[in-house]
Structure 1
Amino acid sequence: MSLTQIAKRFLHAPIRRASGWKRTHPSADRNSQPIAEALLAQVDKQTPNLRLLEIASGSGQHVGYLAPLLPNISFQPTEVERSQFPSIQAYATDCATCNIKLPLYVDITQTVDQWQPDTLGAVKAGSYDYMFNSNMMHISPWACSVGLFRAAGQLLKSSGKLFTYGPYAQDGVLTPESNVRFDAGLRSQNAEWGVRDIKDLKPLAEQNGLKLEKITDMPSNNKFLTWLKL
């Protein structure tokens, strides 16, 4: 059965009535399937009771797409914008496989021990098999990237994986020209934003016990990076 067939099977299955309302974004509509294909190629699809922590879940659209494809994995969404919680909760409620937990408030610039007490009950050192972060690093201060790798170093199990998705420069080179213009536009909006260079992320990973394992080229000039916890 193809990924498209699996997605249709679950996304069109009878669902429980959502307790909130779902937000959708055209970019997530476009990239959900490519992200799912990259993720499914690198995760354990058989072992039960695995755990994935998503940082910066936004509307919940990605977790809503991914969770039904991986019923053996419990997905924990997080978000710093509480206004997104009703949408995430709606995706969790409507999930046919019932493997999306309610969202937790997480400010990724804070160390794990500073996260809210109710978060600490669900987030313990070395307790996650996977982490996932999409389209955050280029529209957030560098401190968010620092916090993401710091959290991955603390929360992932040995041989666990952090997956990050978005536009990236590589060894000082940003291509194509559309990404160069995109980067300039971001920096004009906020001097702390901008497309990150993979060479600058590698030291962050190494400082936290991770290494870059794989770079997957994606549609629309994005990349799917796989970071392995040593």
Structure 2
Amino acid sequence: MSEAKVVEKAAENNKEPIFKVLEKVIPEKFGADASLSALEISSGSGQHVVYFAERFPKISFQPSDIEDRCIKSIKEYISETKLENVKQPLVIDISKPLSEWSSTVAEKSVDVIININMVHITPWECAEGLFAAAGKLLKVGGIMATYGPYAIHGEITPESNVSFNESLKAKNAEWGLRDIDDLEKEAKKNGLTFDAMFDMPANNKTLIWVKSDSE
């Protein structure tokens, strides 16, 4: 294995459960045979995007990240799997508005946005940027799936998530589990609606957001 290729245990553990949610939601929203475009924000190692692409051959996947080591790892996963429906990764700083992105993604050109394990280990500005970008990039009726641990209506459960939140804040005061209510406010600002929540292993959730026809 090349040194540039990153293997993350968490990604290996959660890729199948997340796929199971996408496998349910995407056909419900778009039909079983739709050809779609998907953008993954903060792709990390690239393990997720190639796993999903193998199982959704009619979806064209665009991975992205801000870290050089992740960009290199994503490229290696693409090269290794030889998947034709995964594009080369873009360098995207999600804390920045679209006008400041070094890579261009056309507005209203994306059907699905995927964001896994990002918002709790980045400053709040990244969550704001994620929803702002989704509001501009998603087509009407498009969806965004976010995955990770969350606070719900001001409460963090179980105790393991409370401890995890404390450990995150100890590493960086700007990190921490985000409350679904706060994320919903950002969604509404950007024309998205909180559509569904799925319970996941290890006390995580997958949240589904839908782009409405109003800005």
Which TM-score bucket, shorter chain as reference? Answer: over 0.9
Q: How does 1:15-164 map to 2 (within 5 A)?
A: 21-44=4-27, 45-48=32-35, 50-116=36-102, 119-120=103-104, 123-164=105-146
Q: How far, CA to CA, are the matches of 2:171 and 2:133 in structure 1?
A: 27
Find the residue that maps to 2:195 and give its secondary structure: strand
Tell me by how many angstroms 1:20 deviates.
Answer: 8.4
Q: How far, CA to CA, are the matches of 1:43 and 1:88 in structure 2?
A: 23
The answer to whether the Cα contact below 8 Å between 1:138 and 1:196 also exists between their aligned partners in 2 is: yes
Which structure 2 segments of 5+ residues have no match? Answer: none
The answer to whether the Cα contact below 8 Å between 1:20 and 1:90 also exists between their aligned partners in 2 is: no
Q: How far, CA to CA, are the matches of 1:47 and 1:21 in structure 2?
A: 34
Find the residue that maps to 1:162 and give its secondary structure: strand
The answer to whether the Cα contact below 8 Å between 1:68 and 1:96 also exists between their aligned partners in 2 is: no
1:6 alignment counterpart:
none
Q: How far, CA to CA, are the matches of 2:197 and 2:70 in structure 1?
A: 30
Structure 1: 4+ residue segments shifted above 3 A: 18-21
The answer to whether the Cα contact below 8 Å between 2:50 and 2:83 also exists between their aligned partners in 1 is: no
Match of 1:203 among 169, 176, 185: 185
- CA displacement, residues 66-95 of structure 1 (integer Å, 9 cap, x when unaligned): 110000000000100012112101111233
Q: TM-score, normalised by structure 1?
A: 0.87
Alignment length (residue pairs): 208
- CA displacement, residues 157-209 of structure 1 (integer Å, 9 cap, x when unaligned): 00000000000010011100000000000001111000000011111000000
Find the residue that maps to 2:176 and give its secondary structure: coil
Q: How far, CA to CA, are the matches of 1:23 and 1:42 in structure 2?
A: 29
Relative to 1, partners in 2 of residues 1:47 and 1:171: Cα closer, same or farther, differing over 3 Å?
A: same
The answer to whether the Cα contact below 8 Å between 1:20 and 1:89 also exists between their aligned partners in 2 is: no
Tell me by how many angstroms 1:64 deviates.
Answer: 1.5
Find the residue that maps to 2:131 and give its secondary structure: helix
Match of 2:147 among 161, 165, 168: 165
Find the residue that maps to 1:125 and give its secondary structure: coil
Q: TM-score, normalised by structure 2?
A: 0.93
Find the residue that maps to 2:84 and give its secondary structure: coil
Q: How far, CA to CA, are the matches of 1:229 and 1:202 in structure 2?
A: 12
Q: How far, CA to CA, are the matches of 1:19 and 1:128 in structure 2?
A: 32
Q: How does 1:174-193 map to 2 (within 5 A)?
A: 174-193=156-175
Percent identical across equivalent pairs?
46
